[in-house]
Structure 1
Amino acid sequence: MYADVDDGQRVFRHRFVRDVNHYPAFVGKGPGKSPSRKDTLDIQLLMTSDRTLYVGARNRVYAINLGQSYGDEIQFSKSITWEPNAAAKEDCRVHGRKQTECQNFIKVILKRKNDKLFICGTNAFNPLCRHYKMDTLAPQGDISSGKGRCPYDPKDSNVALFADDNLYSATVSDFQKTDSLIYRSLGDSPRLRTFKQNSKWLKEPSFIHAVDYQSYIYFFFEEESVEYAGLDKVMLPRVARVCKNDMGGNAVYLENEWTSFLKARLICSVPGDSPFHFNMLRSVSDVVKLHGQDVVIAVFNTPKNSIPGSAVCAFSIQDIEKVFAGRFKEQKSPTSIWTPVPDAMVPKPRLGSCAGSELLKHYKSSHDFPDDSLEFMKKHSLMDGSVGAVSLQPLFLQTRISDRILKIAVDNKAGPKGDQTVVFLGSQKGWLLKILVWQGSPVFLEEMNIYNYKKCTLDVGITEQNIVDLKVDKPSETLYVAFRNCVRRVPLGSCERHGPCKKACIASRDPYCGWANEACIHLSPGTTVEYEQDIENGKTDGLDGC
């Protein structure tokens, strides 16, 4: 065990070397069946709904009952097999793709109303979507195009969510990867997208996450910078926003495009005379309450050719809104630098918010917006201001080891009173990190390597330790951790590691753990057991060492 302190962060780290191989694993096995160990599952994502964990993999979707108890191995209760047909595979090979790429990698699993699942896959670089019944996984309706809803290449990023029964998606919409878009489809609202192949709207983006919040959908992504264009390619993290009631423009301007699309830079950096920026956005949480504010918490990395490092920053929705209400940025000519747009040069009404909102209350629909305002929005999507992190610094830094953080999951109802926030982080080398976001300084609770070589490594010796996805299941107080070829089930609190040592239990400051009945036990929300715990200070005055 060791402890270290990150400069200026007062984050205490403890590494515990212990056996975690007893945590259950899913390796593709069903009731009474043994999986083939000659190939990988190629897990792409996890989705939880109605006490079921859905695992999107290659040519398969697995449904796992979260209310069921398991031994060493987790088994699926139902599954969908969806492979490309022979013609699709052949066409994929003709276009120069490998046989391993010409499969159906499941990239979208969403719950839709009427107890339906909406599932999309790459289908040998010809993406398709279909609805399924949640209870039986039987297909419903016809197969539909996945263009604009699912990527062609399994290596490409994508996000998707339903809001008011409209599908909001962001991905690459063509085989050549020249047309990235943020797109609305399927529902009663008209189909809208970002302006096609316009680098000032989107330039080689990698989409990370999307959230539905009040009147807007927020998209988090990274893209090649247009405002700092030069000899070197500069990637910047962004947040973009569109109105849910956006109906598009008129026949002259933005007829089939967003009239409300705005984007701004996110800044996660170590402050100083020369701030050190983390510009590679890797994972973003849903909106959670933190210190009375609605925030998202995000993971950032340094580039591969830079000093290895990761940072975790929180951004308040209110701060994002302030930037979107601020100045626009523009480039007056292809060779000129980007400068703020003077407020006097912005047409009235100022667009970017929703029709019928306080600023646009005289307009019932975006169809009614004036031509000059729509023309301005077509040319101005980038804001001049940037969104800084809450407290203007990272919640957590990791710069001392060559292992970047990739994924995040947040439990903001941790502990017996459900009043603590714990952040779980997954790394590229299979490490799971746990942080308590306290009102003072964040506290590093523990880290452990949960990659199981015996269960998660193929017989052919392929080792993929990248953590692909994380999902918290509060009813069972567990965390599901996906690797390429397995899913591990990990308790939110590893209280047993303290054994019969009261001093270690109290000093851990772990909100999931408390001292009761002469043992360090897991404290579920609403527990009635009398316990001792000191989250604020972890004081152990008068307690004997162990």
Structure 2
Amino acid sequence: QILTWRSTDVSKCAVRGRNSDECYNYIKVLVPRNDETLFACGTNALNPACRNYRLRTLEQVGQELLGQARCPFESRQSNVGVFAGGHFYSATVTDFQASDAVIYRSLGGEGRPVLRTVKYDSKWLREPHFLHAVEYGNYVYFFFSEIAVEHTGAGKVVYSRVARVCKNDSGGSSRVLDRHWTSFLKARLNCSVPGDTFFYFDVLQSLTSVLQINQRPAVVGVFTTQTNSIPGSAVCGFYLDDIERVFNGKFKEQKNSDSVWTPVPEEHVPEPRPGSCAGEGSASSYSSSVQFPDSVLSFIKTHPLMDESVSAINSQPLITSTASRYKLTQIVVDTAAGPHKNRSVVFLGSEDGRVLKILTGTQANSSRLLEDISVFSPTQCSGERGVLGLELDKEHHALFVAFSSCIIRVPLSRCAQHGTCKRKMHYIGPYEKKKIPKIFLQLFFYNSIFSGLHFKC
């Protein structure tokens, strides 16, 4: 089936002075709302809009919704979105100029108000590039990179972050943080090579959903060096309980614009602990965040940043790549590879159209490169060579690689590329004893999600 959703008000888009390509409808949100409904949002000629569709028939359900704060205005503006507890959690920009970045909750009906981050406050968000959102436990986590407000050196430096909000957050009082998050906390993700001087990979490019590493929930991401630094990439994993430990640690503050950032002394932190979910921990006696004392709400409004950064698993990258001038861009992980489903294989996309297949080990520095595949095909694709998305199809034993103008299917096992299967099995291991069925898939939406492509009909 093919679903067509064209832009409206193209004439208004054209007079705004933007490139005419931006007047198409770029699909930027495509997430399941429930088992029966698909939620989609598009830029709609710089006038974002959202729709609900039946999953089975792709028939539109209900009226079109405003997309502001749920979908960006332009194709290249970043955004993430996820449904959790019936609410839509989004991170994007709310205005045409992209000056107001926001983490936003909406569409929940009665019971929980619409909430957002504080507007135009660089302590909360500073030119963020949103990468991923995931629901886990009582929280929704957002992963992004942004200009580091705590960096005191010359120039702008990008840090990678994880932020957290409580799903039961009801906003603050009418005096402080009314209709704003009371549980918003953020911390730096530390992906670095240890030594006398740490070598940092500060810019998050791609992240997995929650998976199990050593029987502990974790996420794994691709990080790169700063744009003005030597090119380099790394893969770092982070345990969710390590993230929570940092969120339960010390806060960071800057007493005035000329002072350095320092930890907040524990005796200066009010009770219940700022950032707590109502009904839990030190806030167990509060049924709603609206009831929090103004001192707690005022503190979290000015202190959303944690002092400590989140250390990577084993305090170092799982994989590093500094020999190539092409950075890594995307990641997907198969944690159940091999005949016994007990091996982990990492697939990494790169700027130059390659996919690296890496078998990870249980010990530090034990990962092994299995295959380096040149996937980009000039005969099938046009435009840029960078890998914009990876999607693993375990059922059909294939990896789908998204570029700006095409999607290419790569079998997980590729005996024919390495002589006999016997030789190949010794070389690549986890996938070679499986049979690959032929499949034909309609992938209408993939390009739009990964790269913001439009489809001309």
Do they fold alike, i.e. is TM over 0.5?
Answer: yes
Question: Quick one: which of 313, 317, 323 aligns to 1:390?
Answer: 313
How does the TM-score come out when normalised to structure 1? 0.77
Residue 503 to residue 140, structure 1, CA distance change in 2 (3 Å): closer
Task: Report the residue type matching 2:50 in the other structure.
Answer: C
Structure 2 counterpart of 1:445:
370
Q: Which residue of 2 aligns with 1:496?
A: 416
The letter of the residue matching 2:65 is S
Tell whether 2:93 aligns with 1:168: no
Cα separation, 2, equivalents of 1:151 and 1:410: 28
Deviation (angstroms), 1:89: 1.9
State the 1:503 CA deviation.
4.9
More moved, 227-236 vs 95-104: 227-236
Residues 268 and 389, structure 1, Cα contact 8 Å, conserved in 2: yes
Q: Number of residue pairs matched?
A: 433
* Alignment partner, residue 444 of structure 2: none
Kindly state the Cα deviation for residue 83 of structure 1 after the two structures are TM-superposed.
1.7
Measure the CA separation in 1 of the matches of 2:397 and 2:436.
10
- Select which of 181, 188, 212 maps to 1:258: 181
The code of the aligned residue for 2:206 comes to S
Is 2:235 the counterpart of 1:320? no
Q: Report the secondary structure of 2:387's partner residue.
A: coil
Given the superposition, is the C-alpha separation of residues 98 and 501 from structure 1 closer, same or farther in structure 2, using an over 3 Å criterion?
closer
- CA separation in 2, counterparts of 1:407 and 1:223? 18
Task: Confirm whether residue 109 of structure 1 aligns to residue 25 of structure 2.
Answer: no
Tell me the alpha carbon deviations over residues 69-116 of structure 1, each in whole angstroms, 9 at most, x when there is no partner.
xxxxxxxxx12212212xx22222211101111111100001112511
What are the Cα deviations for residues 175-208 of structure 1, in whole angstroms up to 9, with x where unaligned?
Answer: 0111001000001321111111111100000000
Structure 1 position 510, deviation (Å): 2.5
Q: CA separation of 1:522/1:307 partners in 2, compared to 1, >3 Å: closer, same or farther?
A: farther
Matching residue of 1:241: 164
Kindly provide the amino acid, as one letter, of the partner of residue 494 in structure 1. R
| Structure-2 residue corresponding to 1:511 | 430
C-alpha distance after superposition, 1:250-309 (max 9, x if no partner):
101111011100000011111111111111110010011012221100001112322111
TM-score by length of 2: 0.92
Task: Specify the code of the residue in structure 2 equivalent to 1:489.
Answer: R
Q: Which amino acid aligns with 1:226?
A: V
Query: Helix, strand or coil for the counterpart of 2:297?
Result: helix
Equivalent residue in structure 1 for 2:291, among 368, 384, 393: 368
Following superposition, the deviation at residue 493 of structure 1 comes to 2.4
CA contact (8 A) 2:415 2:424 kept: no
Aligned to 1:472, which of 383, 389, 392? 392
Counterpart of 2:300?
377
Per-residue CA deviation, residues 351-409 of structure 1 (Å, 9 max, x unaligned), is: 21211123321111111111111111111100000011101111111111111111111
Preserved CA contact (<8 Å) 2:371 2:428: no
- 1:137 and 2:76 matched: no
Contact 1:240 1:263 in 2 (8 A): yes
Q: What is the identity, as a one-letter code, of the residue corresponding to 1:148?
A: A
**Could you tell me whether the CA contact under 8 Å between 1:513 and 1:523 is conserved in 2?**
no
Q: Are the counterparts in 2 of residues 498 and 505 from structure 1 also a CA contact under 8 Å? A: no
Aligned pairs for 1:197-276 (under 5 A) are 197-276=120-199
Q: Whose relative contact order is higher, 1 or 2, with alpha carbons under 8 Å and at least 6 apart?
A: 1
| Residue 500 of structure 1: how far off its partner (Å) | 2.5
Q: Secondary structure at the match of 1:454?
A: coil
The 1-side partners of 2:370 and 2:35 are apart by: 41
Residue pair 2:221, 2:237 contacting (<8 A) in 1 also: yes
From 63, 73, 77, the counterpart of 1:156: 77
Task: Point out the more displaced range, 488-497 or 414-423.
Answer: 488-497
Q: C-alpha distance in 1, partners of 2:431/2:83? A: 33
Query: Cα distance, 1:504 vs. partner?
Result: 4.8
Of 309-318 and 408-417, more deviation after overlay is shown by 408-417
2:452 corresponds in structure 1 to: none
User: What is the rounded CA distance, in whole Å, between the counterparts of 1:442 and 1:360 in structure 2?
Assistant: 43
Map Cα deviations across residues 478-499 of structure 1 (whole Å, 9 max, x no partner): 1111111111111122233343
CA distance in 1 between counterparts of 2:385 and 2:276 reads 43
Q: Distance in 2 between matches of 1:225 and 1:289?
A: 30
Larger radius of gyration: 1
Distance in 1, Cα, partners of 2:238 & 2:381:
35
Aligned residues with identical type, % of pairs? 49
